[in-house]
Amino acid sequence: MKRLRVDRWTGQLLVARSSQRGCCLAAGGALRSARSDQHYIPVRSQSTAVSYPFSEATETSFATTLQVPQDPSELPSPIPERALHSAKLASLHARLSLPKKLPIQTLARTLVDASADENPQFNNINLAFVGQTVINYHVSEYLMIRYPRLPMEIVWASMRGFAGIAPLFQIARSWGVESASVPGGEVDPGLLQFTTEKPGVSLTKFGYRRTEAMYLEKYKWRRGISNRVVFDDDFGESVDVTPGSEQTAHEAEMRKKERKEDEDEEENEYSMRRYGDDETRSLAEKAHAHFVRAVVGAVYMHCGRDTAHNFIKAHILSRTLGLSSLFSFKKPTMELALLCDREDFDPPVARLLSETGRQSRTPVFVVGIFSGKDKLGEAAGPSLDHARLKAAMNALKAWYLYSPGEHIRVPSEMLADGAKKWDPAYIDIGEIISR
Amino acid sequence: MRNLVRLRGSASALSTSSTSTVRTAATSSSASSSHTQRRCLSSDVRAKKIHIETDLVYPSKVRVAPLRDNITDPDYVPADRADDLEEVGGLTNWWEQPEHWGNSKRYVGFGPTEKVRDPMLLTVLVRRAVIEAVALRKFSPNIMRPEGLLAVTRGQKELLNTVEVTPIAAGDGSVTLGGEKGDWVKVWAQLSQVKRESEEVKKGPAPEPELTPAEAKVLVQKWGSEWKSLKLLDPVIKFYAAKRIQRLTGHIIPDGKLIGIETVNSLIAYLAKPPKARKLAEEIETTGVVANLSNVAFSPRRVTPLDKDISLGRWKVMKKELEKRKLPVLGTEGYQKSNLLRWAEGRAA
């Protein structure tokens, strides 16, 4: 059995490409088709080592046979050499305090979305995949250690809140990244390049394509939490069945519906779609998110694990997410009773602590929930029942949002040289009611 | 130029009277000397036979196509309309084309067209100019129009002979030539050679300095720096030197500056100063202020809205759409704003 060389897996991402590009041009079609053919060759190997799909020799032969067109606007994205002369890129590099080790050409590459340039040697798809993996790892480890009692659904929701497309889009905006109107070779390399005309290529995903995926939406099959933990992605969403698209099944359904509406509109030349709709907006947000992931991937590739971790802490984990607002309870009193039963506490009792204006238009009742002599939670409400339910919810939130401390160590910190001995982290037995 | 106009006038006047007999010497314009190139009308109007010797290129004799009946070519198809006829030749803009003017009519400047910029070469040429100016100052009372001598350059041999002479300081520190009597004679002999030479040497453009900057550097290092501190007190010497410098290097020293120049060193420093940039953009590029700032983009011309459209990538789309609608891509091409707008603004239509 051959030894795995993890550091070589993404080695090809470290090299800025020369301008001898052949993507999406006259001969580019041949290049792509050859590549996709290679992709589907069923190779069985005794070794578990990763083999590159394209050898160096084939790459150079492509490079020598293909010519760069004279007009830069014929290229799908700017050539890497132009990155050195872009003021926007240099500013972005400085603004993010990126290390000098990260070349400006790579930063330019992180700004090219797969919808603008399909060639994976020039777009950010591979870097974004690396970045997504690194981000999701650090965010999930942070959540697990910092809030060990969070229910799985809340973990997924907070994963989306930290590392989903919406927060990453906000991060990209806060970095001051502007986008090009239409991607092309003549565009300033400091602008984010994507198009909403084509959906683009997806991030390559690990994971399982459910065999029953096409029925999930059709028949609204239930997916249990454990099932989703095993089969679905980091955000608890099922991966779309169609290869080459990254959207979740729900998004795919939405898109299909919208496309049908668009086709009706296609007949008149000026559809409103060109001015932006939900779909184009979501594609733009996705492109921004992929850019942020690609930057993290580039930092990881060029500067290493620790720098990437610090970068994620500074830009992603430092954001405030109101975890308590993510909860929703159906039967909080029952859940609290079950909790007390499981933990061998005394059964919860709701007691009226104070009240005012019972006969008035706006009464206020303050209810506390007690387990024996311990007060588990307290809330004020306009009716007795409402106050009791709120108090139960507060008690449950207090349980679920337990945190061992603000500066708690995470497992990845053990990878640093000379790390202190690991202090075992608190692990909870799990949520009270599984959904 | 005045001569040329007169010539054109006379030629056309003659040609109207007797077109068939005008003969030009356009093809035989390889006259070697300036004397022969000069206009020469040996005409006998009454005999209607004119011979003009000039290096101007005249239109060739009018040729007439054969009549339709005389054409033997079987492929010949006669034109039905005037539009079908091919237009050949013509005299429009004949005199606007520079190749139709002879060499003798071209402007030849006093100094070389390209200024000498190398500081070492300039130092050598300034030394020559100063030495010759000093000699000319001494001997000029004996001759008529002494400045005329400054127009002659001659070859490298004379240059090296002249700069070999070491200028020294007079009692008041001003520049003069060495104590040996031979120096004065040597320099003056070279300068006054012009009397014995033909005039064409004077007329031609100043020859390129054959000295290379490396050779000049060796010479300058050999001389040391003492001679550079000599004073230029006599305004006549300064004037002669400035005139000579203009001939040798192409630098024109304005009078205002000439007054301020008091030593040989300041003269060299004035000439060797690199020219001022003509545009701010050139200066920024040469000083390299922006080159070190990667977050500053610099454009040598105005950044137009078109540049912005191109850098955002939308220009190609706009161009395509304009072409699709057959509208002008750049400019307005005669389209103007609506009349209603102008009326609303109270302007005349």
Q: Is B340 on the interface with A (CB under 8 A)?
A: no
pLDDT band at A237 (very low <50, low <70, confident <90, very high): confident
Higher pLDDT, A172 or A32: A172
Q: Is B294 on the interface with A (CB under 8 A)?
A: yes
Q: Nearest residue on chain B to A91, judged by CA atoms?
A: B295
In this prediction, residue B314 carries a pLDDT of: 93
Q: Which residues of B touch A183 (CB under 8 A)?
A: 313
In this prediction, residue B65 carries a pLDDT of: 81
Q: Quick check: A381 pLDDT over 90?
A: yes
Q: Is A237 on the interface with B (CB under 8 A)?
A: no
pLDDT digits (tens, 9 = 90+) for A341-375: 999 999 999 999 999 999 999 999 999 999 999 99
Share of chain A above pLDDT 90, in %: 57
Q: Is A86 on the interface with B (CB under 8 A)?
A: yes
**Neighbouring residues of B37: CB distance < 8 A, sequence distance ≥ 6:** B31, B54, B55, B102, B103, B104
In this prediction, residue A72 carries a pLDDT of: 83
State the maximum Cα–Cα separation within chain A, in Å, rounded to a whole number.
88
ipTM of the complex: 0.73
Q: Is A24 on the interface with B (CB under 8 A)?
A: no
Side-chain-side CA neighbours of residue B251 (13 Å): 26
Find the CB nearest A87 among B296, B313, B314.
Answer: B296
pLDDT digits (tens, 9 = 90+) for A261-299: 555 555 444 455 667 788 888 889 999 999 999 999 999
Share of chain A above pLDDT 70, in %: 74
Q: Is A120 on the interface with B (CB under 8 A)?
A: no
Q: Which residues of B touch A180 (CB under 8 A)?
A: 312-313
Q: Is A87 on the interface with B (CB under 8 A)?
A: yes
Residue B83 is classified by DSSP as: G
Q: Quick check: A41 pLDDT over 80?
A: no
Write a three-state SS string for chain A: CCCCCHHHHCHHHCCCCCCCCCCCCCCHHHHHHHHHHHHCCCCCCCCCCCCCCCCHHHHHHHHHHCCCCCCHHHCCCCCHHHHHHCHHHHHHHHHCCCCCCCCHHHHHHHCECCCCCCCCCCCCHHHHHHHHHHHHHHHHHHHHHHCCCCCHHHHHHHHHHHHCHHHHHHHHHHCCCCECCCCCCCCCCCCEECCCCCCCCCCCCCCCCCCCHHHHHHHCCCCCHHHHHHHCCCCCCCECCCCCCCCEHHHHHHHHHHHHHHHHHHCCCCCHHHHCCHHHHHHHHHHHHHHHHHHHHHHHHHHCHHHHHHHHHHHHHCCCCCHHHHCCCCCHHHHHHHHHHHCCCCCEEEEEEEEECCCCCCCEEEEEEEECCEEEEEEEECCHHHHHHHHHHHHHHHHHCCCCCCCCCCHHHHHCCCCCCCCCCCCCCCCCCCC
Q: Nearest residue on chain A to B298, judged by CA atoms?
A: A87
**Which of the listed ranges A12-16, A241-245, A301-305, A423-427 does the model predict with the highest average pLDDT?**
A301-305
Find the CB nearest B295 among A84, A94, A193.
Answer: A94
Q: Which residues of B touch A86 (CB under 8 A)?
A: 297
Find the CB nearest B317 among A87, A91, A182.
Answer: A182
CB contact under 8 A, B312 and A181: yes
State the maximum Cα–Cα separation within chain B, in Å, rounded to a whole number.
96
pLDDT band at A60 (very low <50, low <70, confident <90, very high): very low
Nearest to B173 by CA among B264, B270, B272, B269: B264
In this prediction, residue A252 carries a pLDDT of: 58
CB contact under 8 A, A90 and B314: no
How far off is chain A from B329, nearest CA to CA, in Å? Answer: 17
In this prediction, residue B85 carries a pLDDT of: 83
**Mean pLDDT computed over A313-329:** 95
* Contact assessment for residue B220 and residue B268, using Cβ atoms and an 8 Å cutoff: no
In this prediction, residue A31 carries a pLDDT of: 36
Domains of chain A: 77-266+275-323 (1.10.1520.10), 329-402 (3.30.160.20)
Q: Name the 3-class secondary structure at B293.
A: coil
Find the CB nearest A180 among B295, B296, B313.
Answer: B313
Of all helices (H) and strands (E), which one includes residue B126? helix B119-139
Find the CB nearest A187 among B295, B296, B312.
Answer: B312
Q: Which residues of A touch B315 (CB under 8 A)?
A: 186
Residues in chain B with pLDDT < 70?
A: 1-48, 179-180, 194-209, 348-349
Q: Quick check: A254 pLDDT over 80?
A: no
pLDDT band at A38 (very low <50, low <70, confident <90, very high): very low
Query: Considering chain A, what is the average pLDDT of its residues?
Result: 81
Find the CB nearest B311 among A84, A104, A187.
Answer: A187
In this prediction, residue B209 carries a pLDDT of: 57
pLDDT digits (tens, 9 = 90+) for A153-188: 999 999 999 999 999 999 999 999 999 999 999 999
Q: Is B316 on the interface with A (CB under 8 A)?
A: yes
In this prediction, residue B192 carries a pLDDT of: 78
Reading the block at residue A419, the tokens are 């790390």
Find the CB nearest B314 among A84, A90, A181.
Answer: A181
Q: Quick check: A14 pLDDT over 70?
A: no
Q: Is B17 on the interface with A (CB under 8 A)?
A: no
Q: How far apart are CA B266 and CA B231, in angstroms?
A: 10
**Mean pLDDT computed over A126-135:** 94
Q: Quick check: A306 pLDDT over 70?
A: yes
Q: Is A242 on the interface with B (CB under 8 A)?
A: no
